[in-house]
Amino acid sequence: MPAATAAVATEAAVATERWDGLLLGATLATLDAETGYGLVEDGALGWRDGMLAYVGPRDGLPGEIDALADEVIEADGLVTPGLVDCHTHAVFAGDRAAEFELRLQGASYEQIARAGGGILSTVGAVRAASEAELLRQSEPRVLALLRDGVTTLEIKSGYGLDFDNERKMLRVARALGERYRIDVRTTYLAAHALPPEYKDDADGYIDAAIGWLPQLQAEGLVDAVDAFCEGIGFSPAQTRRMFEAARALGLPVKLHADQLSDLGGAALAAHFDGLSADHIEYTSDAGVRAMAEHGTVAVLLPGAFHVLRETRLPPIERLRAQRVPMAVATDCNPGTAPLLSLRQAMQLACTHFRLTPEEALRGATQHAAKALGLADRGVLRTGMRADFVHWRIRHPAELCYWLGGDLAHGSFAGGRRLT
C-alpha cells in the first residue's frame, strides 16, 4: 500500500452488526490529515446507524463484502465529505434582479440601501408572504444547493425584522430541514437592518430584537446569533449588546464583519469566542490575531465579492500566517449573492482570492463545519457522521475547475441518500 494511503486509511471498527451500507471502488478524498487531500485509491466507505464504520482501502475490509453490509454500491469517480454551506440567507421571498441592473449602471450597495432598496425591499416581500408561500419560494434554492453536494446548511433570519416575521423565517428554515432530512442550522439575524417602524431609533430596535430572542430560543428555533456590524447596519456597541444577550442564553455568535469598512467587527466576534467572522474584506491585522487567539473561523464569501465587483480582498496571507481556518460559503441571498452552488463559491474563492483547490474544499467541508460549531463532520473518518458525496470526477481539484455542470452523482447525510 502506498505510504500516503497507509497514512490516511482508518482501521475498521469491530463489526458486531452488519453495516447499513458499503460504497466500493471510488477514490476517497478523506481530508483526514493537516495537509493534502488524504486520497485513498480503490477505497471503501462503510456506515452504520448514520456513522462511518470504515474508511480505507477495499483490500483492508475486515471480512467478505457480502457479509459486511446490507447494501453494497460499486462506484467509480471521487467521494468527499459532504459539503457544508455555513452562511446562507436562503429563506426569502421575491428577488432583487432590478438592483443588479442598477449596480451595473453605477449605483453602489450603500446607495441602493440608503434609498430604501436592498434588504428592506426583501423585508417587504417576506412580510407579505404567508409561511406556506415563503416555504414554497425558498424550497427550490435549498434543493439546488443539495443537488450540488451540500449535506449541512445554515439559514439565517433577518428579512422579517419584527417578532412574527423573524419567527416565520426560522420556522420555514426548520421545516426545510425536516422535509429534506438534512441538518439545517438556524441563525437569528434580527440585527440585519433597521425596519421602518424604528427609523432613526437603532438602539430601540436592538432592545426589541433582544427581547424577542428568549421566546424564539425556547421554541427551538435558534442555534446561533448574528448581526450586521457596519456603517449601514449596526454599530459595534449595538452588536455587543446583542452578543451579550446571546451569551446570557448560552447561544454562540457569529458576525457579518468588516465587509465594507473596518469597524473592528472580526475582533469583536472573536472576543465573544464567536464561531465565525464573515466577509472580512477590511479586517485588520489585530482582527486576524484575535480570530487566531479565540479559534474564530474566517468565512469567505466570494459570491458577494463577485456580484458587487469589489476590489478589496480579504487578508488571505495574514489568515494563512496566523493559521486561521478559512471556510467558504455561498452567502445565498437575493441582493448581493444570488448563488445556488457551493461548488461555484469554491471556484470563485480560487479565482478571486487565490485559494488552492485543497483550501477551498477544506473550506466547504471541515472548516465550514467548525464555523457552525459542528465537530462530527467535514472529514471522512471512522466515528464521524456518514455525510459524503459521490462525484463524477477523478480528482478533487476538478470541483473548483469546472464552471457549472452536474458533477454530483449522489449525496448522503447521516447515511441516508439525499440525491
Binding residues, by number, are 87, 89, 96, 159, 192, 256, 259, 331, 333, 335-336
Tell me the residue type at 360: A
Residue 239's closest CA among 258, 216, 220, 222? 258
Q: How many CB atoms lie within 10 A of CB 240?
A: 17
Binding residues for Zn(2+), by number, are 87, 89, 256, 331
d(CA 245, CA 206): 10
d(CA 279, CA 326): 11
The secondary structure of 186-228 as a DSSP string is: EEEEEETS--GGGTT-HHHHHHHHHHHHHHHHHTT--SEEEEE
Binding residues for N-formimidoyl-L-glutamate, by number, are 159, 333, 335
Q: Cα dihedral sign for 212, 214, 216, 221?
A: positive
Binding residues for 4-imidazolone-5-propanoate, by number, are 96, 159, 192, 259, 336
Tell me the residue type at 344: Q
Strand 254-257, strand 276-279: pairing:
parallel
d(CA 288, CA 282): 11
Tell me the residue type at 224: A
Binding residues for Fe(3+), by number, are 87, 89, 256, 331
